[in-house]
């Protein structure tokens, strides 16, 4: 069974930002918009903070 640890689940500027860790993929983020589209790539980050920073920057770039 694949385990997922959720570090952050927050709403910013009408986007939902999720930062999580899986047992095989390190830290990652995903962003969901108000229509349910999911954005993010399966790129591993060294820490939850790094994944959160990239996710927040992605959201800021959509302004």
Residue range 30-57, pLDDT digits in tens: 999 999 999 988 899 999 999 999 999 9
pTM value surpassing 0.95 = no
Cα atoms in the 13 Å half-sphere on the side-chain side of 40: 27
pLDDT at 19: 97
Closest to 29 measured CA to CA, from 1, 61, 57: 57
Closest to 32 measured CA to CA, from 52, 11, 46: 11
Show the beta-strand stretches assigned E in 1-63.
Answer: 4-12, 15-22, 26-32, 38-39
């Amino acid at each position: 069974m694949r385990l997922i640890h959720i570090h952050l689940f927050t709403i910013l500027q009408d986007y939902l930002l999720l930062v999580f860790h899986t047992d095989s993929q390190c830290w990652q983020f995903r962003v969901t918009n108000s229509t349910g589209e999911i954005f993010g790539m399966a790129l591993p980050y060294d820490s939850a903070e790094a994944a959160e920073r990239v996710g927040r920057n992605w959201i800021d770039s959509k302004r």
